Amino acid sequence: MNNTHQEVPIHKIGCIQPHGILLVLEASELMIIQVSQNTETHLGISPEELLGKKLDRIISSNQIEQIKPYLEEKEFPGMDCLEVIVTNHKNEKLFYIGHIHRYEQTLLLELEKDTNQEEVSLIDFYRSSEFSVSQINNDLTFDQLCQIFAQEIRKISGFDRVMLYEFDYDWHGKVIAESKIEDIDSYLGLHFPAGDIPPLSRHLFSLQPLRFIPDVNYRPVGFFPETNPITQEALDLSFSILRGVSPIHIEYLQNMGVGASMTISLVKDNQLWGLIACHHKTPKFASRGLRMACKLLAKILLLELANIRRTHNYQYQVQIQNKEKDLIQIISNKQNLFENLRQYKRQFLDLFEAEGLGIYLGDHYDTLGRCPRKQQVIELIEWIQNNYHQPIFYTNQLPKIYKKSEAYKTIASGVLVMSLSNNPWQYILWFRQEQKHMVNWAGSPNQLVYLDKNQKLHPRHSFKQWQEIVDGKSLPWQTIEIETAFGLRKSMLEIGFQEMNQLNQLNYELQQKNQDLDAFAYIASHDLKEPLRGIYNYANFLLEDYGDRLDKDGVYQLETLVRLSKKMANLLDSLLEYSRLGRANFSYEEVNLNEVIEQVLDMIKGRWEENSVTLNIPRPLPIIKADGARLYDLYINLLSNSIKYNDKEDKIIEIGYLNETEMLSKFSHHQLHQLNDPPFIFYVRDNGIGISSEHQRKIFQIFKRLHPPEKYGGGTGIGLTIVQKIIERHGGKIWLDSIVDTGTTFYFTLT
């Protein structure tokens, strides 16, 4: 069941309240075609008698002539507070106040008795409103202003309670001001659930700003005929001031102990912003004049509220705009927008009142303050991309719309995500922490309505305070913040665009240089290798054919020539491989690391069998997103080294990874953060010769070897450089732990 007051079509409720009469007129001839059933009570003329008559049956032609020009206007908006003299069955003149509006081809005229005796005199009203206005000054807070108006409206209207509700974006209403007689409970600060005022009622409130129910126990008055003869449907009473009240709302008011109510809507920028609700324990009539006076006060209040909000926001607005200006200045003055983003994280974070800033560029995730982890942010961005196709996404209750964020709601219940590019990812994210707070509801919001045994819907009985702890919400993002985010994005894209043009130029030049390099690598590998092979071959022929004619020195020199040329060929091969690695496109797909290791072991089986090697893989390796072929090269290099640089009888090698808990027990949060919060840390461990700490940094340098080639069968000194490059291209890092003579562990991440 819907937890709301039932959505009956209340604008077609088929009845009015009895404190006035309603006449439906055919617009061109002003002929009465439908009337409320209470004309007899008011005028002593039965509905049957009125039907088919022209309006001048009860209102003098003179008066009709005066208003006719208005009625004939195409865009006739309706007229209120028309003073009309109505003739009853005894030909007596009665004073009525009229309200007339057009509905399709008809005019609806509503007449209420002019209750002179209760009328607020113009002087009284002037005095009261002048007093209210005179209390307004620049030092008033928003709440104080609302309070003054609640008091003033109660003073002139005489209702037992006057409350000012403000709607939030969920349409829950909060009582922000109240003036009341002493012996009723206060509702100040309480929240009224959105379901109390269903969307249709809210819509009607914005069409007809004053709703008056002088007696909740009224007897509804139907129409004669029942349906509108032109439309053949129930009469549409959306703009009517006498419209009948839905039974469930009547019961709701009765449960609240209300005998009469008057509600004035506060509409700002065509949006229902709040309500002024006036309640009286017993039936209470407020004259048209009084109602108009209250409506006018509400208008003044709205104007003043807008003023106060503007002044209040002004300071924050100026502050935020200055920060934005400074930020744009900084980033546009420097080269490389995206490097600047990282450098000026503090300024970006300070732009809004947020606790965390994430910058996601390409594969890199950089943070400041309290932020979700990289993987979580990747998933969040993917979710936003799939569900919201807008450059700026914001919410102050992420867990409500995105369940996965429950896990990190304490640090990011609120997010503002700015997308600069989807390909590659360029995102800036501001995070707002959860603000747990208590909400006092007027009755439980979970049980607004219930069905009785006859399946009839009833509103709740209790309006007793009911407390709820609200979680998963942050402070809301203000309009000025959203506007600033849009402005900043635009400026950044403009700066980025200019930069991109420069970059394009640079890229073009670089491409040219790369092509030159490619050509060089080709010459190096092919053209240089050719003569080198010749040198190698001829030196060998010399050794074979003339070796016996040379003395010992001669043979040694020739052997050195062979060795050096072979080494040079190897170096050229490595150089070629390395230079290709920097430019090649990597293809990232799901890779099962266990399969990669299997292929690697297949490849190095020979070396494996020559040595006595024990291999441990404590548990199956995970499946990750990576370039499988490059990971193969990576493991070949690391495993070859761990066999090569190992002089133990029994060589023990372990291949494994650390999961989240193991990572946390071994590394600090800060360290993991520096590593971009990887999902895994991989390692290759051996019990080999180890590397002394002073050499540990050098081993990744190109052509750097710690041993002469004859020792440990060393290579070209490029293996680890290639390993490092592969890892960097994956967005990861490599480092090691080593103890001389005990062993080495190489750790690496791949994101």
Residues found near ligand ADP in the complex (CB under 6 A): 637, 641-642, 645, 686, 688-691, 699, 704-707, 714-721, 744
Q: For ligand ADP, which is the closer residue by CB, 307 or 696?
A: 696
State the minimum distance, in angstroms, from the CB of residue 490 to ligand ADP: 48
Report how far residue 366's alpha carbon sits from residue 345's, in angstroms, rounded to the nearest whole number.
9
With a CB cutoff of 8 Å and minimum separation 6, the contacts of 556 are none
Q: For ligand ADP, which is the closer residue by CB, 133 or 706?
A: 706
State the minimum distance, in angstroms, from the CB of residue 345 to ligand ADP: 35
State the minimum distance, in angstroms, from the CB of residue 348 to ligand ADP: 40
Q: For ligand ADP, which is the closer residue by CB, 358 or 690?
A: 690
Q: For ligand ADP, which is the closer residue by CB, 148 or 736?
A: 736
**E strand intervals along 223-334:** 223-224, 260-268, 271-280
Q: For ligand ADP, which is the closer residue by CB, 483 or 737?
A: 737
CA-angle at 277, arms to 272 and 279, nearest 5°: 160
Question: In the numeric block, which tokens belong to residue 449?
Answer: 């309505």
- Tell me the one-letter amino acid at 58: I
State the minimum distance, in angstroms, from the CB of residue 723 to ligand ADP: 7
- Tell me the one-letter amino acid at 192: F
Q: For ligand ADP, which is the closer residue by CB, 152 or 686?
A: 686
On whether the CB atoms of residues 17 and 242 are closer than 8 A, the answer is yes
Q: For ligand ADP, which is the closer residue by CB, 234 or 571?
A: 571
Report how far residue 720's alpha carbon sits from residue 689's, in angstroms, rounded to the nearest whole number.
16
With a CB cutoff of 8 Å and minimum separation 6, the contacts of 629 are none
Q: For ligand ADP, which is the closer residue by CB, 341 or 720?
A: 720
State the minimum distance, in angstroms, from the CB of residue 325 to ligand ADP: 50
Alpha-carbon dihedral 305, 311, 315, 320, rounded to 10 degrees: 60
Q: Using N-to-C axis directions, what is the helix angle for 719-729 and 628-644, rounded to 10°? A: 150
In the three-class reduction of DSSP (H, G, I as helix; E, B as strand; rest coil), residue 200 is classed as: helix
Q: For ligand ADP, which is the closer residue by CB, 208 or 642?
A: 642
State the minimum distance, in angstroms, from the CB of residue 721 to ligand ADP: 6
Q: For ligand ADP, which is the closer residue by CB, 109 or 720?
A: 720
Report how far residue 549's alpha carbon sits from residue 543's, in angstroms, rounded to the nearest whole number.
9
Query: How many alpha carbons fall within 13 Å on the CB side of residue 664?
Result: 3
Residue 25 CB coordination number (10 Å): 22
State the minimum distance, in angstroms, from the CB of residue 552 to ligand ADP: 30
State the minimum distance, in angstroms, from the CB of residue 566 to ligand ADP: 15
Report how far residue 658's alpha carbon sits from residue 673's, in angstroms, rounded to the nearest whole number.
15
Question: In the numeric block, which tokens belong to residue 21?
Answer: 């009469």
Q: For ligand ADP, which is the closer residue by CB, 443 or 719?
A: 719
Question: In the numeric block, which tokens belong to residue 694?
Answer: 């002073």
Residue 586 DSSP one-character state: P
State the minimum distance, in angstroms, from the CB of residue 733 to ligand ADP: 17
Q: For ligand ADP, which is the closer residue by CB, 221 or 722?
A: 722
On whether the CB atoms of residues 354 and 475 are closer than 8 A, the answer is no
Report how far Cα 35 is from the mean position of its chain's Cα atoms: 52
Distances from the Cα of 305 to the Cα of 142, 276, 313, 319, 475, angstroms: 7, 14, 12, 22, 21
In the three-class reduction of DSSP (H, G, I as helix; E, B as strand; rest coil), residue 735 is classed as: strand
Residue 355 CB coordination number (10 Å): 17
Q: For ligand ADP, which is the closer residue by CB, 223 or 645?
A: 645
In the three-class reduction of DSSP (H, G, I as helix; E, B as strand; rest coil), residue 604 is classed as: coil
DSSP structure string for 123-155 = HHHHHHHHHHHHH--TT--HHHHHHHHHHHHHH
In the three-class reduction of DSSP (H, G, I as helix; E, B as strand; rest coil), residue 468 is classed as: strand
Report how far residue 340's alpha carbon sits from residue 345's, in angstroms, rounded to the nearest whole number.
8
State the minimum distance, in angstroms, from the CB of residue 689 to ligand ADP: 5
State the minimum distance, in angstroms, from the CB of residue 708 to ligand ADP: 10
State the minimum distance, in angstroms, from the CB of residue 579 to ligand ADP: 16
State the minimum distance, in angstroms, from the CB of residue 592 to ligand ADP: 25
CA-angle at 455, arms to 449 and 461, nearest 5°: 30
On whether the CB atoms of residues 145 and 298 are closer than 8 A, the answer is no
